[in-house]
Amino acid sequence: MGAVIHHGSPYNASVSRKIIITTPFPTPEEIAAYYKIPAKRVAELNQMMDEIRAAEAKKKRKSAGKTNAGRKPSTRRKATSSKR
């Protein structure tokens, strides 16, 4: 039931990089059956994950559309000489 994941040295686990799964891994339904989670609860969890993913996608789309084009340029004061 466990997948073997090869990603280099275990000491570099915090480094984000491509991984290759070389063995079959279970589906969410197989995992639910293994832990004897009722089908109704599995459906609830799937719905919850769909809602979370939709909210994250919406947030990502919203932040991707933001640019500095609509902002006024900053007004910077010119330095004045104290010598007169």
pLDDT tens by residue, 29-59: 899 999 999 999 999 999 999 999 999 999 9
Domain of residue 13: give its range: 5-61
Q: Is residue 53 in a domain?
A: yes
The DSSP output letter for 10 is: G
Phi, psi torsion values for 18, nearest 5 degrees? -65, 140
Count: domains in the chain: 1
42 neighbors 32 (Cβ within 8 angstroms)? yes
Q: Is residue 28 in a domain?
A: yes
Q: Is residue 37 in a domain?
A: yes
Instruction: Tell me: pLDDT of 13 over 60.
Output: no
Going by C-alpha positions, the residue among 74, 55, 72 that lies closest to residue 63 is 55
Q: Is residue 16 in a domain?
A: yes
Q: Is residue 55 in a domain?
A: yes
pTM score, whole prediction: 0.49
Q: Is residue 79 in a domain?
A: no
